[in-house]
Amino acid sequence: MAQIIDGKAISAQIKEELKDRVSQMKAEGREVTLAVIQVGSDPASTVYVGNKKKACGYVGIRSLSYELPEETTEEKLLGLIEELNGRTDVNGILVQLPLPKHISEDKVIGAICPEKDVDGFHPQSVGKLCIGQPGFVSCTPAGIIQLLKRSGIEIAGKECVVVGRSNIVGKPMALLLLRENGTVTVAHSKTEDLKSICRRADILVAAVGRPKMITREYVKEGAAVIDVGIHRMENNKLCGDVDYEDVAPVCSAITPVPGGVGPMTIAMLMNNCVESVELQAK
Ligand code: GUN
């Protein structure tokens, strides 16, 4: 039977470690502050932002909340970012995506000072990841590396297949697995014979955005399967990109949905906030 990778437990462990680090920092007179900006009131974004602020409270990070109306201009948002960039009492800046259509996400991400880019989305952060320099790393893929390491799954020398090439997950995931000395293939919607490519994987990361697409025909016996997807089904239950019931019997380890990758994203955001203070101290 496959090892079920418990993201809830591992994220709780990371948050405990961070809580200790933050209280140590407080004892030295250093505070950690994250500014969270939401534009508009997309219900999913409101839930995500609420969870991020709650995690901040738990770990001991101060969070500043900016809830801006849907019709906020790009200029106004860029002005706020500039102000937060200049504030020495703000360590991290997070702009919840997606933004309303009239605002350029690229412009907004590019305006965040790279030393405060706790999401790891700034081109400088991505570039540093690519050439192996220290910098902020996108939280979901960073969390997946923690899941693998803390579950005792070896990456070095292994065949890793990432299905999906988004800027937030697929691409940084591939770079991180490479940094850990994995042999990495990035597959996507145009990949020919996706099943046989996926069946090569010792570590298969599914970030395709299609419910239950990855069935056991895509999985080599004994592979570790990481499911980044989260979808609400007609019966109101959640499922991932992986058909869990079908795949679990053939793999060696698998992340459930919910309770696998999801909780790790916020834990790694908290980690990046703590690291931002250390980075800015340098
Ligand atoms: N929207 C969906 N995921 C994310 C994320 O990780 N960060 C931000 N800022 N927005 C998101």
Residue 119 bears catalytic tag: yes
Burial class for 219, CB neighbours closer than 10 Å (0-12, 13-18, 19+): buried
Q: For residue 1, name the pLDDT band (cuts at 50, 70, 90).
A: confident
Average pLDDT, the chain: 97
pLDDT tens across 69-88, in order? 999 999 999 999 999 999 99
**pLDDT at res. 39:** 98
69: left (phi over 0), alpha (psi -120 to 50) or beta: beta
Q: For residue 185, name the pLDDT band (cuts at 50, 70, 90).
A: very high
Q: Which of 48, 51, 116 most suits a substitution to test ligand 1, by most atoms within 8 Å of the C-beta?
A: 48
- Residue nearest (by alpha carbon) to ligand 1 atom 3: 97
DSSP state at residue 40: S
Q: Which of 65, 96, 117, 272 most suits a substitution to test ligand 1, by most atoms within 8 Å of the C-beta?
A: 96
Question: By 3-state DSSP, what share of the chain in percent is helix, strand and coil, each rounded to 5?
Answer: 45, 15, 40
**pLDDT at res. 86:** 98
High-pLDDT (> 90) share of the chain, %: 98
d(CA 158, CA 114): 32
Q: Catalytic: which of 52, 158, 171, 220?
A: 52
pLDDT tens across 189-234, in order? 999 999 999 999 999 999 999 999 999 999 999 999 999 999 999 9
Is the CB of 230 inside a 6 Å radius of any atom of ligand 1? no
Indicate whether 282 pLDDT > 90.
Answer: no
Q: What three-state secondary structure class fits 95?
A: strand
Q: What pairing do the DSSP bridges indicate for beta strands 159-163 and 3-4?
A: unpaired
Residue 52 bears catalytic tag: yes
pLDDT tens across 234-254, in order? 999 999 999 999 999 999 999
Q: For residue 281, name the pLDDT band (cuts at 50, 70, 90).
A: confident
b/e burial code for range 74-113 (CB count within 10 A of at least 16 → b): beebbebbeebbeeeebbbbbbbbebeeebeeeebbbbbb
Is the CB of 109 inside a 6 Å radius of any atom of ligand 1? no
The answer to whether the CB of 241 falls within 8 A of the CB of 214 is yes
pLDDT tens across 75-122, in order? 999 999 999 999 999 999 999 999 999 999 999 999 999 999 999 999
Cis peptide before 98 (omega within 30 of 0): yes
Counted residue by residue, the chain has a size of: 282
Say what the pTM is: 0.97
